Amino acid sequence: MPAARLILLALASSAIAHAELTLDVTAVELKPKPEDEEVETTFKFRNNGSKTVKILGLESACSCLSAELDKAEYLPGEVGTGHASFKVSTFVGRHEKSVTVSTDDPKQPEWQVNFILDVPAVVDIKPKTLEWFIGDTPGSKSSLVRFTGDVPMKIIKVTPIRDNVNFDWKELKEGREYLVTVTPKSTQDVTFSALKIETSSSIAKYRNQLVFFTISRKPEPQPATTAKK
C-alpha cells in the first residue's frame, strides 16, 4: 500500500476515534433536608466515544462542591461512577454549580458536570428590605415572616442593630406567619441597618434571621429627552 494512502488512513482513524464522556441526565440533582449541613450523591456516566479516555484532573467552580471519579481511565462504552459532596451551609433555594473534568482527548479536553442543589426554604421573609428616602414621612412598613418547614416555629425576640427605629411584631398564624413592623424615628440621615430576629428553630442556621431597613437619597430625576424630528 502506498505510503501516502497509509498516512491518509492514519489521519482518518485519528479523526474518527475520540472519547465522549456523557451523563444520562442534564444535571445531577441534590435535595438535602433543611437540617443537613452536607449532602452527598453518586452519579453515572459513560464513555460513548471510540477510544479510551484518561482523566487528568477535576476542578470545582465552588469551594462548597467537591467531586471524584472511581477510575483514571475509561474504555469505549464503559460506565463510570462519580461521587460528589456539597456543603449546604446557608444555601437556600435552587443553585447551579459545576465541576470541570480535564481529559487527554483533544476533542473533549474539558467535560463539565452540572449539579443542581435544591434546598427547601424554612423561613421566607418578604420584603427582605424595607426602604425609605431622605425626607419621607417616617411611616410604618412591614415584612411578612413565614415559617414554611414541616415544623412550626415562633419568633422569640426582635432586636434592632441601631436604636433609630421603633418596631413591633405580631403573630398572624400560630407558628407559621408573623408581621414585623418598622417605623423610623427620623428619615433625615442615610441609614442601612437591620432587625435581628431570633426564632425557636432547632436548626442553628435558621435560629437567627434579619430584616433590613434603609434610608437613602432619592435618585436624581432623569432629564427629558427631546424626540428627533
- Summarize pLDDT for 117-167 with one digit per residue, the tens: 998 889 999 999 999 999 999 999 999 999 998 899 999 999 999 889 999
- Fold matches, 19-119 and 123-216: yes
As a whole number of angstroms, the distance between CA 193 and CA 187 comes to 13
- In 3D, which of 57, 47, 44, 45 has the Cα closest to residue 104? 57
- Domain covering 19-119 in this structure, CATH number: 2.60.40.10
As a whole number of angstroms, the distance between CA 113 and CA 24 comes to 11
Collapse the DSSP code of 181 into the 3-class scheme (helix H, G, I; strand E, B; otherwise coil) and give the result: strand
- Summarize pLDDT for 48-84 with one digit per residue, the tens: 999 999 999 999 999 999 999 999 999 999 999 999 9
Instruction: Tell me the whole-structure pTM to 2 decimals.
Output: 0.67
Cβ contact 23:113 at 8 Å: yes
- Summarize pLDDT for 177-226 with one digit per residue, the tens: 999 999 999 999 999 999 999 999 988 888 999 999 999 998 887 776 66
pLDDT greater at residue 57 or residue 5: 57
Q: How far is CA 189 from CA 135, 138, 192, 228, in A?
A: 9, 12, 10, 41
Structural domain spans, the chain: 19-119, 123-216
CATH 2.60.40.10 correct for 123-216 = yes
Up-side HSE of residue 176: CA atoms within 13 Å toward CB? 5
